[in-house]
Structure 1
Amino acid sequence: MAVYVSPKGARAGSAGTFIAAAGNFAVMAPGTNIGAATPISATGEDLEDTLASKVENDAAALIRSIAQTRGRNEDKLEETVRSAASYSAQEALADNVVDLITEDLDDLLAKLDGLTADTSLGMVVLETEGLEIRTIEKNILEHFLEFISDPNVSFILLTVGGLGIVVEMFNPGLVAPGVVGVICLLLAFLALGNLPVNWAGAVFIVLASVLIMLEVVVAGFGILGVGAIVSLMVGGLLLFTQFGDSSPTLPSINVNRWLLSGTGGVVGLALVYVVGLAYQSRKEGPPEKASVLTGMLGRVTGELAPKGIVMVGNETWTAVSEDDSVIRIGEPVEVRSVEGLILTVFRRIDPETQENS
């Protein structure tokens, strides 16, 4: 029935001009404008000559027919298509482009009261005085969807989700990381479905999660960690980056640079700490093992010349012979000392062998 361009500073541009012109009553608030309805491409660029002429003539004919139906100024409305003309609220009212100017919704309802509108059911007299105004608010689900559709939140969900899944894959049975990861990923995909996402960025973020876990598991001494941070930063930058022509109607969407930098910094510090622990562990070895292993018997499984492999207590260890002598596969040895993850062993004479000799 009534199309209201409001509040102050709002505009009915492009398709909004057609919508306003098609209403039974076109109403504007002070400080608003209408017009600039010249057709352009979906990317905001001008159309090619032939196509532009066809589309422009079609749009001009449409808005003239709308103006004729609603009894509005055909020439002025056609100019919004032909020459991208725009009019202020006062100009539009003076040129019969719109019907009314009202200060607010209450003023709108007061001025509409008693007016007659031509509808599909015939002529209808509007009775808007004292009409109950019902405001439609967002429900909890819509607020939640709006929250997770924030580019920064969706980035965090994707990162945490990918990391949780990878942790569960490398450590089956933990359960919690897998559950959290699946939930975060599902929420991330739900959010990304409402955003202009670049899936190459999502792949980079998942790759970063894999590299982080590989760094922890195989101890890449920082190489995999650096790759993880680089992959994470690149993924965050690409996640909502659209290459080529972009739609002029879409706002600029990207992950906050401070959030991206902070996430990269936290991941970097965490990896430095983990790599440091891994290096220290390799250097010192498990302290509780040293006293237990000393004096234990084992057998050579990889020739010591003087370094090789021994089996001690059903565990495989790197070992060196105490006197740098060669100890062949199958010979018994005894652990003299433990330094880090390397055992120092000496050849132990097998009693049975000694008796036979």
Structure 2
Amino acid sequence: MFNLRKILLFIILLIFVILPLSSLKAAPTQSPVYVLSIDGPIVPVVADYIESGLQEAEKNGASCIVIELSTPGGLYSTTQKIVTQILNSPIPVVVYVSPAGAWAGSAGTFITLSANVAAMAPGSRIGAAHPVSMEDDSALSDVQKQKITHDAAAWIRSIAENRGRDPKNAEMAVIESKSFTDTEALNAHLIDFKATNLNDLLKKINGLTVKNFDGTTTTLQTDGPIKYFPMSSSQKFLFAISDPNIAYLLMSAGILGIVLELYHPGAIFPGVAGGISLLLGLYTLGTLNAQLSGMLLVILGLVLLASEAFVVSHGILAVGGITSFVLGSLMLFSGNQMGLTINKGVVFATAFFMAAFVSFLLAAVIKAQKRKVVTGVEGLIGEIGIAVSDINPNGIVLVEGERWQAESKEYIAKGEKVVITAVEGLTVKVEKIKEGGSKKND
């Protein structure tokens, strides 16, 4: 009986304690898959985000990094930095153009082709990577434009060749601004897989051996835990205002705030908020390499609008300011490269609102200037009073509860209504008015 109890106790211990512990010890450690997400223009903060993601993934022994990408394009200089980071990454990088319907346009094409593995979601597209100088195109000769295009074409061919992709089709995206659907890109050997979602992609690339840029190979193990690596709070803020339209609206709001402060000194809040918004807008436009001539015209517009508050120009300065503002706005990204632009609807809507706002402020100022003085002795002129004594030619009148020495060229009997026509020291000059009369200046 005693042995039977021991046997039963051993069996229970074996089933519920020893076997689970042994299985835990035997379970292999799986490397995580880091996932970064980019949905918007390729701007400097995106390069910082990818760099921090690569460092974090390497530190924690990630098996690979997946960059979910959807972008209309961005800065050529930032694209070069990101591509360099991906090509030199010790951890394999997978670029997945997603979600369905996403676009890896312009800069996104270079980034996608530079990855160890490139994939696209259904309905997505890639291409239209023809570079355009951030300088005004009219200032560039045909030879300069060709140099820029041929340099970009050579760069994308080099990337494609080293990643085992078709360099000719890659070059077509630059030279002819050709775009490819997900199916066309797969058939053109620009991408490696089509995947309906992230899980589908990870299943397809699990166990795949990829070649690194230095010639070594790595076998992907993507069945481990997925770790999403979002932007930091500061990166999210900088990325949000890095949209050209947001930066433009910030700058416009800043201009309106400063103009309001100049028209109504002492309001404080409009000036403070306007100054912060203006500086944020100008900083962001600077990081996006907006054209200097456009920014100068916008600033000139601000100066002209502000001058209207101090110079009587009958609206000429305000009209000039609005005109300068609109022209500068249209020029900010007129020579834009790789997809960055300001919506013209936003420009004209902002200009209309600004014109209406300034017109309202001017009307308020003009109305205030024309308003009759209602303080001091000047405010008495036109007021109605009552003679509290006979005035012939001198007497006393009651005006707004106060007694004043009065003088009149005509006889005015006690109790009659009078109107004040002038004030001389402590004496008011009055005239008799008929019963039911009103202020002379009404």
TM-score, with structure 1 as normaliser: 0.62
Distance 1:145 1:188, change over 3 A: farther
User: Which amino acid in 2 is paired with 1:226?
Assistant: G
CA contact (8 A) 2:100 2:124 kept: yes
Q: Distance in 2 between matches of 1:41 and 1:198?
A: 17
Q: Which residue of 342, 349, 353 maps to 1:252?
A: 342
Number of the residue aligned with 1:3: 95
Query: Which piece of structure 1 moves more, 23-32 or 54-63?
Result: 54-63
CA contact (8 A) 1:93 1:101 kept: yes
Number of the residue aligned with 2:164: 71
Deviations 1:223-250 (A, max 9, x none): 5563464355335424523189521532
User: Which amino acid in 2 is paired with 1:115?
Assistant: L
Query: How far off is 1:109 after superposition?
Result: 1.6
Number of the residue aligned with 2:258: 161
Unaligned segments of structure 2, at least 5 residues: 1-92, 384-398, 407-421, 432-442
CA contact (8 A) 2:333 2:340 kept: no
Distance 1:281 1:237, change over 3 A: same
1:204 correspondence with 2:317: no
Q: Distance in 2 between matches of 1:277 and 1:109?
A: 70
Distance 1:268 1:117, change over 3 A: same
Kindly report the root-mean-square deviation, in angstroms, between the aligned alpha carbons of the 2 structures: 4.5
Deviations 1:44-99 (A, max 9, x none): 78x86655665565555544443332233344434445555543322332343321
State how 1:177-196 maps to structure 2 within 5 Å.
177-178=267-268, 180-195=270-285, 196=290
Q: Distance in 2 between matches of 1:141 and 1:85?
A: 32
Q: Distance in 2 between matches of 1:267 and 1:56?
A: 44
Residue 117 of structure 1 aligns to a residue in which SS?
strand
Distance 1:224 1:92, change over 3 A: closer
State how 1:1-357 maps to structure 2 within 5 Å.
1-37=93-129, 41-42=133-134, 58-81=151-174, 84-119=177-212, 122-137=216-231, 139=233, 142-143=236-237, 146=240, 149-165=246-262, 167-168=264-265, 174=266, 177-178=267-268, 180-195=270-285, 196=290, 198-212=295-309, 214=310, 224=313, 226-227=315-316, 229-231=318-320, 233-234=322-323, 236-242=325-331, 245-248=334-337, 249-253=339-343, 257-281=348-372, 285-287=378-380, 295=405, 335-337=427-429
Q: Greater RCO between the two (CA within 8 Å, min separation 6)?
A: 2
Query: Which piece of structure 1 moves more, 141-150 or 83-92?
Result: 141-150
Unaligned segments of structure 1, at least 5 residues: 169-173, 216-222, 297-318, 322-332, 340-357
| Number of matched pairs | 293
Distance 1:164 1:86, change over 3 A: closer
CA contact (8 A) 1:293 1:338 kept: no
Query: How far off is 1:2 after superposition?
Result: 1.3
Q: Distance in 1 between matches of 2:158 and 2:367?
A: 75
Q: Distance in 1 between matches of 2:131 and 2:247?
A: 31
Query: How far off is 1:187 after superposition?
Result: 2.8
Q: Distance in 2 between matches of 1:83 and 1:141?
A: 34
CA contact (8 A) 2:304 2:318 kept: no
TM-score, with structure 2 as normaliser: 0.52
Distance 1:37 1:259, change over 3 A: closer
Distance 1:76 1:275, change over 3 A: closer
Query: How far off is 1:157 after superposition?
Result: 2.3
Distance 1:198 1:335, change over 3 A: same
Distance 1:18 1:137, change over 3 A: closer
Residue 261 of structure 2 aligns to a residue in which SS?
helix
